Amino acid sequence: MLLKLNQSSWGLGICAILKSSSSQKSNVLLLRHHRKVNDFMGHRSMRKKNIILKQQQQQPQQQPMPSNSNTSSSFKTRHVVVLVSFLSAVAVIALSLNTWSFFRSDGRGVLSDEVYSYEVVNVFPHDPNAFTQGLLYGGNDTLLESTGLNGQSSVREVDLQTGKIKAIQNMDYSYFGEGLTLLGKRLYQVTWLGKTGFIYDRYNFTKFKTFTHNMKDGWGLATNGKILFGSDGSSSLYKINPQTMKVIKEHVVKYKGHEVHNLNELEYINDEVWANIWQSDCIARISPADGTVIGWILLPELRQELLATGNRIDVLNGIAWDQDKNRIFVTGKLWPKLYEIKLQPLRKPLQAPLERLCLRAPVHF
């Protein structure tokens, strides 16, 4: 019994020892496991840290974020640039509009003292078959007129109020009548595509004689009471001796450096030579001293209104001046009306530059 007990106790002790040994072994194994884990985690942590450092070294260095003061300064700068750009754009637009109209108001609504429109004062009947080439006022409400076209050319006296022909001298078919002017009691007339002209008795057209001039062609005539002014369809304004009909002076007519070609019918008004510009609705006001254009008269509405009412007409041509009553008359080739006009300063912007409206390329026949 004792042996059994001792054996049992010994067994229990052995078991306790084995258990204790097993527990210690487990503790040792657990400690070793923890060390391995720590070593592994530490190794991973170091490896990860090295990878991060390597990536940071490979990436480009980023600029530091600007401070609030720098951000505010940049914001203000951008606003200033935008404002300057906007003001510049406004200035360009304003300049463009001013250039397009070409003239600035003087406070009275007048755009230019050198460009004039007109007011129609009276409208008179005019022979719609008259191809008007020369026109002048003959006094006592009469007009003296030269007409063109071969076979239809003539010199005539016309009643202003009725448009009726009071006297007429038809020209030979070979002549194409052109400019006309009155000096004293003599009417001077030139012809197209030639250098032959005619001098008529003011009161009897059947009495006439011929002359030869040395312009390149015959288009327009006018007089200041002493000499004659002539045009030949070019940009030249001629001064002519009325006794010899020879050119004594020639000026090239220019506007702002541009030659003014196609000078046509002429009239002398208040120390200026006025000239129709062929194929335009413009009258140039020319200084007889040097040929400089000192002003323009724009008459596009007259022709446009006639065309709108179905009239088959040609260009504006024909200027006459009643010096005693200061009346200005204008008409055109085949126009059914003759207009008394009064000049008005231009008060509305031009729809195109003046050069485009009034200047034409030279023509050669």
Residue 212 sits in a domain whose CATH number is 2.120.10.30
Of 70-84, 286-300, 336-350, least confident by mean pLDDT is: 70-84
Instruction: Name the residue range of residue 300's domain.
Output: 112-358
**Is residue 25 situated within a structural domain?**
no
Residue 88: pLDDT band with limits 50, 70, 90: low
The rounded percent of the chain whose pLDDT value lies above 90 is: 68
pLDDT at 7 over 80: no
Residue 63: pLDDT band with limits 50, 70, 90: very low
Cβ neighbours of residue 295 closer than 8 Å, sequence gap 6 or more: 113, 114, 115, 116, 272, 284, 285
pLDDT at 340 over 90: yes
Q: Is 103 helix (H, G, I), strand (E, B) or coil?
A: coil
**Is residue 100 situated within a structural domain?**
no
Please give the residue that has the higher pLDDT: either 252 or 17: 252
Number of domains in the chain: 1
Report the run of H or E that residue 343 belongs to, with start and end: strand 337-346
**Is residue 61 situated within a structural domain?**
no
Closest CA to 300 of 340, 362, 358, 260: 358
pLDDT at 50 over 50: no
**Is residue 274 situated within a structural domain?**
yes
**Is residue 22 situated within a structural domain?**
no
pLDDT at 270 over 60: yes
**Is residue 42 situated within a structural domain?**
no
The average confidence (pLDDT) of the chain is 81
Classify residue 39 as left (phi > 0), alpha (psi -120 to 50) or beta.
Answer: alpha
Closest CA to 211 of 227, 193, 195: 195
The pLDDT tens digits of the residues spanning 140-174 come to 999 999 999 999 999 999 999 999 999 999 999 99
**Is residue 244 situated within a structural domain?**
yes
Alpha carbon of 200 to those of 169, 218, 340: distances in Å? 10, 17, 27
The pLDDT tens digits of the residues spanning 203-250 come to 999 999 999 999 999 999 999 999 999 999 999 999 999 999 999 999
Of 15-24, 126-135, 323-332, 343-352, least confident by mean pLDDT is: 15-24
Closest CA to 116 of 290, 335, 325, 328: 328
Dihedral sign of CA atoms 33, 38, 43, 47 in order: positive
**Is residue 73 situated within a structural domain?**
no
The pLDDT tens digits of the residues spanning 274-319 come to 999 999 999 999 999 999 999 999 999 999 999 999 999 999 999 9
